Structure 1
Amino acid sequence: MFLRRALYYWQFTAAIMLPLWVVIARGIFGTTTGWDIALYIVLGVILGFSMLVVAALTVARKRVRDARALTGRDTLVLAIWHLSVILFGFIGAPWVAAIIVIVTVGAFWNAVWTLFTETRDRVKVAFTIPDFAPRTAEVDAGHYDATAPGQGDVIIVDVEPESPPTSR
């Protein structure tokens, strides 16, 4: 539970820190030209925006907001995603970049699908009408008086019997 709750709060900080980590670490550990840094800055902005989108979709779920913790699947996806971004800071290999792209797409669709299914289930429950027993007893025609408890108000129901239809 601690890891799930920590990742819940970390995902917003990670949207700024992890792209910044990639730019700084790639500058220290292996960039040879200034154009590489410019490319990492542009890709860092895209990565940060995608992390914010996934975080917003995750927090939009009532179950996550109420618990202030991610689900197990969210924790697994985000841990793989964030660890691959941290690894890319050290190793600028194309296969690590490919893993980041694949996990980014997977994290987005995981967040969208989970939000959709949880919202659908909540809406189904909200629109389910309870099954009440039908009333079979008829009310006799007449005059009924009732007082509301503690209010002193009088409710009067005056029901007149139906008259048979007249023919002309």
Structure 2
Amino acid sequence: MFIRRAFFYWQFPAAVILPAWILVGWGVFAATGWQILGLIVGVMMLTVGMLAVAGVTSARKDVRAEKAVSWLDVLLLTVLHALVIVVGFFTDYTALLGTLAVVALIALFWVGIVELIVETRKRVRATLAAFEAQAARAQMPRTPSGSGAGAPGSVRAPRVDGEYIVIETSDRGASPRA
């Protein structure tokens, strides 16, 4: 639970810190000025993507209630963060690792969307089932207390004996109509 909770709190700071590391790392590890200039656009897109993933993850009610992401989120976030950190070292494999980081970010986003939809669907179904159960209880007739047909206030199935004639009477002191 500690690890899942740590990733929950780390998501939003990571969206700023890790892209900044790429800029610093490329400057330290001898990237050219033009590469860094082009990298600025990529880093901004990475920041927006990581913030979007953090937002989708935080949109799930279970994540907000527990203040902890799922284990699948932990796995994918670990892969993404490791790839972003390695990209910051500016090696010969940076292009490949950068592409893998983009793929990991897209996978994390869509996994978050699917988890959000599945969780929302469960909550909506549970709510509808509760409404249906409440409506069914409200429509069932209650036995009068003391009638001997079960516990007072218990619900029983309606009797079907054929047709009924209902005569409504009123003893409220109303005068007969003229």
Deviation beyond 4 Å, 4+ runs, structure 1? none
Q: Deviations over 1:78-134 (max 9, x none)?
A: 111111100111144221011101101101101111111101110111111115383
1:106 is matched with: 107
Structure 2: stretches of 5+ with no match in the other structure: 145-165, 170-178
Q: So what's the TM-score if we normalise by structure 1?
A: 0.78
Q: Deviations over 1:45-84 (max 9, x none)?
A: 0000000000011111100000001111111111111111
Q: Any residues of structure 2 matched to 1:73-152 within 5 Å, and which? A: 73-92=72-91, 93=93, 94-128=95-129, 129-130=132-133, 131-132=136-137, 134-135=140-141
CA distance in 2, matches of 1:4, 1:136: 49
Q: So what's the TM-score if we normalise by structure 2?
A: 0.73
SS of alignment partner, residue 167 of structure 2: coil
Structure 1 position 22 matched with structure 2 position 22: yes
Instruction: State the 1:135 CA deviation.
Output: 2.7
Aligned length: 141
Q: Please tell me whether the aligned partners of residues 25 and 90 of structure 2 are also in contact (alpha carbons under 8 angstroms).
A: no
Structure 1: stretches of 5+ with no match in the other structure: 139-159, 164-168
- More strand by proportion, 1 or 2? 1
> Percent identity, aligned pairs only?
37
Q: Deviations over 1:133-162 (max 9, x none)?
A: 833869xxxxxxxxxxxxxxxxxxxxx815
| CA RMSD after TM alignment | 2.0
CA distance in 2, matches of 1:64, 1:112: 13
One-letter amino acid of the structure 2 residue matched with residue 127 of structure 1: L
Q: Any residues of structure 2 matched to 1:32-111 within 5 Å, and which? A: 33-92=32-91, 93=93, 94-111=95-112
